[in-house]
Amino acid sequence: MITIENLTVSFGAVQALRDVTMQVETGKITAVLGANGAGKTTLLRTISGLKEPVQGSILLDGRPLVRERPENIARMGVGHVPEGRGVIGEFTVEENLRLGAMITKAPLNEGLDEQYRQFPVLGERRKQHAAKLSGGERQMLAMARALIARPTVLLLDEPSLGLAPIVTAQLMHTIHDLCSSRNLTVILVEQNASSALRIADHAVVLHLGTVVANDAASTVAADEKLRQYYLGMVE
Ligand SMILES: Nc1ncnc2c1ncn2[C@@H]1O[C@H](COP(=O)(O)OP(=O)(O)OP(=O)(O)O)[C@@H](O)[C@H]1O
Ligand SMILES: [Mg+2]
């Protein structure tokens, strides 16, 4: 379980997160939703140690993450798939996966085999440069690169960005499968609220850095006011 309490994060005079308190349950998908600038990316970057908060705490199964180094947080089991995916286009699919495996002592070949079983298209394209992949394939590679380090928590920043609706639907299905088959704890950041709410157990809605809703995904999905004012889900 991840417990976040009174988290405040600033960039100079801009408070990107203000007094954010929320919990993320083990083995469940928690969607973090909200418009541009809501603070979603900042939340993930603070959890993985890339940004230091002004105030507040983040505990992973009781262990504090704030002021830990990002590489230690990754070794504690937190995998981060950044906004824009962050795969290296000039590297082959396999080279990208090898990079992801660097922080684990688990045997590389087993890890590669496991990812190619999970994402067969990556196996077929293992020798191709990542720049040649489609958007959906690149997202799979970014996820596989995080998963090869065997995380217990996966932070996904806008995985559906730029993908066609059918590809997004497949991707959400994959995320749901991964979560249930590996008991993975997922924080799914999305502007695409309807796609995320379809697979999420719980949802947190951020607006200008503050939590405006924190409830079961089905409750958030059914709330007309949230849909209209914060999620841009106008019928
Ligand atoms: N490196 C930075 N320097 C200065 N301000 C920043 C920086 N990163 C984020 N911010 C500010 O913090 C606030 C939250 O930004 P953040 O990127 O976390 O939002 P977001 O919800 O991920 O938005 P988006 O949906 O556009 O990705 C915004 O006001 C943004 O301008
Ligand atoms: Mg963002």
Ligand 2 centre to CA of 44 (Å) is: 9
In SS3 terms, 59-75 reads as EECCEECCCCCHHHHHH
Ranges under pLDDT 50 in the chain: none
Residue-level pLDDT at 216? 98
Strands 2-11, 55-60: pairing is antiparallel
Q: Is the CB of 13 under 6 A from ligand 1?
A: no
For 29-58, what is each residue's pLDDT tens digit? 999 999 999 999 999 999 999 999 999 999
CA 176 to centroid of ligand 2, rounded, Å:
21
How would you list the strands of the sheet with 2-11, edge to edge?
A: 14-24, 2-11, 55-60, 63-64
What is the separation of C-alpha 156 from the centre of its chain, rounded to a whole number of angstroms?
2
CA-to-CA distance for 103 and 22, rounded, in angstroms?
28
Distance of CA 159 to the CA centre of its chain: 8
Residue 189: the pLDDT is 98
Identify any residues that bridge with 5 across adjacent strands, giving them in sequence order: 57
Residue 41 CA, ligand 1 centroid: distance in Å = 7
pLDDT of 232: 84
Closest C-alpha residue for ligand 1 atom 5: 11
Does the 1-77+152-235 domain belong in CATH 3.30.70.920?
A: no
**Backbone CA torsion sign across 161, 163, 226, 30:** negative
Q: Which residue of 8, 20, 32, 36 sits with most ligand 1 atoms within 8 Å of its CB, as the best mutation to test the pocket?
A: 36
Ligand closest to 18 (CA) is 1
Q: Is 39 in the pocket of ligand 1 (CB under 6 A)?
A: yes
- Nearest ligand to the C-alpha atom of residue 37: 1
The DSSP secondary structure of 103-166, one letter per residue, reads: T--S-HHHHHHHHHHH-HHHHHTTTSBGGGS-HHHHHHHHHHHHHTT--SEEEEE-TTTT--HH
Site to substitute for ligand 1 among 8, 11, 32, 156, most atoms within 8 A of C-beta: 11
The tens digit of pLDDT for each residue in 146-172 reads 999 999 999 999 999 999 999 999 999
Ligand number, closest to the Cα atom of 191: 1
Task: Give φ, ψ of 45 to 5 degrees.
Answer: -65, -30
Residue spans per domain, the chain: 1-77+152-235, 87-150
**Cα 43 to averaged position of ligand 2 atoms, centre (Å):** 9
User: Ligand 1 pocket, 49 CB below 6 A?
Assistant: no
